[in-house]
Amino acid sequence: MKEPQLSPPDTAIPIHRSMETKRPTRYLVIGAGSRGNAYARAVTRTTPGVIHAVAEPYPFKRRRFGQNYIWGPKGAAEPGQEFTDWRDWLLWETERRKQISSINDAVGVDGVFICTLDETHVEIIQAIAPLNLHILCEKPLALSLQDCLTVFRTLQPSASESAPTAIFSIGHVLRYSPHNKLLRKLLLEDRVIGDIVSLEHTEPVGWWHFSHSYVRGNWRRATPSGDGSLLTKSCHDIDFILWLLCSPTSLEDAGAQGQGSHFLRSISSFGSLTQFRQARKPVLAGSATNCVECPAASECSYNAVQIYGRRLEDGDRGWPVKIVVPDIEDVHATQGKDGAKTALLAKLAEDYDVAVQSDAEIAARPWYGRCVYEADNNVVDDQVVTFRWDDEVNAPHRLAKTASFHMIAPTEKQCERRGRVYGTTGEIEYDSMTISIYDFATGKRVVHDVPKPPPERAESHGGGDFGLAGQYVSAVEAVVNGGLDIQTAQARFIGCTLEEVVQSHAVVFAAEEARREERVVHWEDWWEEKLKSQAGKV
C-alpha cells in the first residue's frame, strides 16, 4: 500500500544559502523555556555548534539563557544576539541582509530552534521560511491538520526546485535516544525476533506530572478541533510506533532503492477523562477550589502546596517549580529561601471565579494551585489507540501486524515508557533502561542494559534531547561545512522527511477522530479525503 503523496506548493520560496565554510554553525533559539534550554544545553555540551542568539519576552529568562549559552555570566549581548520577540529578530535579520553585499559579511545564524507555545509554530515557520534557514521545531508541529499541511506547503520546494532547500527537524525525541536506536536496530536490522507480529507500547505519564501539565497547566484543554493530550503529550509516542513499524530501516538507502513506508490500514481509539473531574473530589474538600485553603489538602495526593513546596524545600528550583514561578531563581538569589517560598505560595493561591471571570480569561493562563477535581480541563487522562497493517505485496518482511498504544495518567513512573514486541521467532520486552530478548528456538533470554545517561542528561528523554539536537547540528554542519546536499543530509542525520513528520501528526488527528466518533478510521481513504478537503484552505 502506497500512501497518497502531498501536492507541491503553489509559490516559490526565495533561497539565501550560506556558502561560508569551516566555522561553527550558529543557531537562534526562539523561546528560552524548558525546551529551549534543553536544546541549547545539548548543542553547547555535545556539538561544535554555537548558540548565537535568543528571542524571549521574559527578561530574566532571556538574561539567564544568554549568560548560560551565549555571552557568559560576565559578558553582555552583542548586536544580533538578544531579542524580546522573534519578530524583532526577523526585522533585524531582514535588515542585515539588505545592508550587506554578501550574506556572510555580518554575523547571522544558520539554523533556528522553535521552542515556543504550540499554537505559535505555524506563524513563526511561515514568517521565517523565506530566509531559508534550517529549522528544528518543537513538537507538536501544529494543532490542526490544516496547519500541518500549511507548514508542509510552506517548506516544500517550489515548482522550480527539485529538492528541499533547508534541513527540517521536529522534536520527536524518542527516535534519538540510545535505548530506542538500539531497540530499532535489534528489530529491523538484526531481526532478532524475526518478522514483527504485534507491538504494545505504554506511556505512563505520572500521577503528578499529568496534573501539572494537563489539569492545571497550559495543555489542559483540547484544541479547537477537539484534539487533546494525545497530540500535545504523546504525538512522539505515535511517531515512535510508526518509526518502528512503518519506516524503512534506513531512509538514505530507501531513497536509493525507491522504498517507501509500510503504512497503516486502519486506526481506532478509545479514551476519556476518568479521574480529574468533580465526581472524584474528596467529600472533605467541600466547596474548596484551591489547595492553599482546602480542608482536605493534607490527605490529598494532588495537594499543590505539597507537590511544589516539597521540591522547593529540597532545594530543587528547576522544573516544575520554575514553571509555577518563572523567576524563582532571581527571587531566591535576592530574597533567599523564605522569599522563594512566599513567592510560590502566592502563585498557588491564585484562583479564578467562574461567576466573575469569562471562560476566555480562565483558559488564557495556567492555575497551578487549582483543585484538580474543580479545574477547567477537558483532555483525556486514559487513552488507547490501536493500529492494523496489511501485507505489503511483493515486499519481504513487510507483513500484516498490529500495534496498541496506551497513554495513562495515574502512574508511579513518569514518562518511563515500556512495551513488548511479538515476533515470529521471539519476543522483546523493553522499558526505559533495558531491552530483554527471548528466543523461541533456544529458550534463552538476552538482556541489553542501556547505559544510564550521565546526570546532566538525566532529564533529557533518556538522551533523546541530546541525540536530536546532535543529529540536527550534524545535518546542518554537513551542509554548511561539508558541502552535502540537503536531501542526503536530511536522510542521513535526521532520518525522516517533512512529509513523514506531517503524516505522523495526521495519524494522531485520525486517532482522535476515531475516539471522538467511536469508529474505525481507514487510513488511505481518510488521508485522501483530508488532503482533498484541505486543498483549498492552505
Q: Residue 282: give the domain boundaries.
A: 278-363
End-to-end, the C-alpha distance of the chain in Å comes to: 27
Total number of domains constituting the chain: 2
Per the domain annotation, does 442 fall within a domain? yes
Per the domain annotation, does 23 fall within a domain? no
In the prediction, which pLDDT does 170 show? 97
Q: Which of 328, 363, 398 is the last residue of a domain?
A: 363
In the prediction, which pLDDT does 455 show? 58
The answer to whether the peptide bond before residue 140 is cis (omega within 30 degrees of 0) is: yes
336 and 189 part of one domain:
no
Q: How many residues can be counted in the chain?
A: 538
242 and 333 part of one domain:
no
In the prediction, which pLDDT does 23 show? 86
421 and 522 part of one domain:
yes
355 and 448 part of one domain:
no
Q: Which residues contact 356 (CB under 8 A, 6 or more apart)?
A: none
223 and 356 part of one domain:
no
Per the domain annotation, does 515 fall within a domain? yes
Pick from 56, 68, 58: which is nearest to 114 by CA?
56
Cell of residue 125, nine digits: 515557520
In the prediction, which pLDDT does 105 show? 54
Which residues of the chain fall short of a pLDDT of 50? Answer: 1-20, 256-257, 458
CA distance 204 to 535: 37
Chain position carrying cell 528541499:
164
In the prediction, which pLDDT does 4 show? 43
432 and 522 part of one domain:
yes
359 and 400 part of one domain:
no
Cell of residue 312, nine digits: 522547593
CA distance 221 to 67: 35
In the prediction, which pLDDT does 164 show? 86
Tell me the three state secondary structure of residue 373.
coil
CA distance 388 to 265: 6
The amino acid occupying position 477 is E
Per the domain annotation, does 68 fall within a domain? no
Chain position carrying cell 528550583:
317
Q: Which of 301, 335, 363 is the last residue of a domain?
A: 363
In the prediction, which pLDDT does 491 show? 94
282 and 338 part of one domain:
yes
Burial class, 175, CB count within 10 angstroms (exposed 0-12 / middle 13-18 / buried 19+)? buried
Query: What angle (nearest 5°) sits at the alpha carbon of residue 143, between those of residues 171 and 491?
Result: 35
Q: Which of 310, 331, 363 is the last residue of a domain?
A: 363
Chain position carrying cell 557568559:
72
294 and 319 part of one domain:
yes
In the prediction, which pLDDT does 192 show? 97
Helix (H) or strand (E) holding 430: strand 426-430
The answer, as to whether pTM is greater than 0.85, is: yes
Per the domain annotation, does 373 fall within a domain? no
In the prediction, which pLDDT does 456 show? 54
In the prediction, which pLDDT does 225 show? 83
343 and 452 part of one domain:
no
Per the domain annotation, does 185 fall within a domain? yes
Per the domain annotation, does 98 fall within a domain? no
Per the domain annotation, does 49 fall within a domain? no
In the prediction, which pLDDT does 140 show? 96
359 and 385 part of one domain:
no
Q: Where are the beta strands (DSSP E) in 284-425?
A: 382-389, 401-408, 418-423
190 and 241 part of one domain:
yes
Chain position carrying cell 477522530:
513
